[in-house]
Copies of this chain bind each other. A is one copy, B any other.
Amino acid sequence: MINLDKIKEISKTSATKIVLLVIDGLGGLPNPETGKTELETAYTPNLDGLAAKSICGLADPVSPGVTPGSTPGHLALFGYNPTSFNIGRGVAEALGIDFDLEPKDIAARGNFCSVDKAGLVTDRRAGRISTEQNLKLCRLLDGLAIDGVKIIVRPVREHRFVAIFRGEGLSADIGDSDPQWVGVVPKAITALSPEASRMASIASQFVAQAKEVLAEHHPANMVLLRGFSRRPKLPTMDEIYKLKPAAITSYPMYRGLAKMVGMEILKTGTTIEDEFQALRQNYTSYDFFFLHIKETDTAGEDGDFDRKVAVIEEIDRALPGMTALLPDVIVVTGDHSTPALLRAHSWHSLPVLLYSKWCRPDRVNEFSEPACISGGLGRFLATQIMLLAMANALKLDKFGA
């Protein structure tokens, strides 16, 4: 495989434009009654017509057999090897609430939990307290300062929050306090390297203070922290591909990720049609668009086969509003599969179509998992999609003499 440094050397700007349409959790599994996946079931004349002019294939975000979380799934689509660029749990959680992490911040995922008088964890989720209650408790903890480090506490949902440690000389190299089990005391937070000892001490003091503050708030009378992490330093898409990239997505997590790779975040409403509208409004100002649609994944996670089908059909109806712009390269795929039957992300490979004037179409004329198997891209790694898009946009020089 070619690495990012090599891509930097051969990438070049040009007037062409690329649209990457990511249908979150697109891949599915066949409905036992019909033998057809969500994508096969959906009536998609526009996607099928596009597939007929495209080169198709099946892609794996991390590896065959590996179920990607949303961050590795998207990093792969942007061409970043998700096993090299790891986004910690704390950072992912901060992205998920649109919190703007500064480069030196350390973020941790927090749970409100219940402990008994002896300090043993009795419920790691404090009975899933309401989000309103969470909000109130976060206000009690937010803004503590320890040894010159400010601790910012922000609610997520139910028992979940994010704790951000902001100050100089911090390290993310410390262990969790979450023991992952009940009936034991929370783990002491320990430094995993000598440089992290101050950070371990600050995090421990925060936990101790939180315990005092929450003492009378049973069931949420303690906190558990895990996944201490710092925003990874990623080369931007401008640096690698010399692109001017923009993101259209109505979910905070994906906005955060897109920002991390240097995309401009475009204003958009929350419907599918809103997002296509945002693309049209901004089409002249950028040369790469990441257009992200979340509802397919949500329907898959809810186990709602029919709703996932309906969302795919809605995307299909909106598609002409994108193809009419005549992008030089169009890629349609997902970030991972979310089969309604599994009600979760899965390892199944992703259908991919890539259209350009230069794509060398194969004989696939239907956009579906079983049809893409016979596509000209074969089965390949999703990290190669950006290279293919760049090549088809004539934005890559020859490699080697």
Contacts and interface: CB of A to CB of B under 8 A. Distances in A.
A387 interface: yes
A66 B370 contact: no
A360 B64 contact: no
Contacts of A10: 66
A10 B397 CA distance: 37
Interface stretch (A82-90, A166-174, A259-267, A298-306): A82-90
Contacts of A339: 358
B387 A66 contact: yes
A221 interface: no
A401 B72 CA distance: 8
Interface string A52-93: 000001100011111111111000000000110011110111
A22 B67 CA distance: 26
A378 interface: yes
A128 B65 CA distance: 48
A280 to B, nearest CB: 28
Interface string A190-227: 00000000000000000000000000000000000001
A324 interface: no
A308 interface: no
B2 A62 contact: yes
Contacts of A91: 401
A369 interface: yes
Determine how many copies of this chain the complex contains.
2
A88 B401 contact: yes
B342 A358 contact: yes
Contacts of A30: 360-361
A400 interface: yes
A17 interface: no
B69 A399 contact: yes
A41 to B, nearest CB: 14
A348 interface: yes
Interface stretch (A112-120, A180-188, A315-323, A388-396): A388-396
Nearest to A85: B400
A111 to B, nearest CB: 15
The majority secondary structure among interface residues of chain A is loop
A68 to B, nearest CB: 6
Contacts of A57: 379
Contacts of A349: 376
Most buried by B among A62, A347, A389: A347
A311 to B, nearest CB: 20
A82 B29 contact: no
Given A1-B63, A65-B392, A374-B374, 4 more contacts: A3-B83, A62-B399, A65-B386, A363-B370
A398 B29 contact: no
A99 interface: no
A349 B6 CA distance: 19
30 contacts: A6-B83, A30-B360, A57-B379, A58-B376, A58-B378, A62-B400, A64-B387, A65-B384, A65-B388, A65-B389, A65-B390, A66-B391, A66-B399, A67-B391, A67-B398, A68-B399, A69-B398, A69-B399, A71-B401, A86-B400, A87-B400, A89-B401, A339-B358, A346-B358, A346-B391, A349-B376, A360-B369, A362-B373, A363-B370, A379-B380
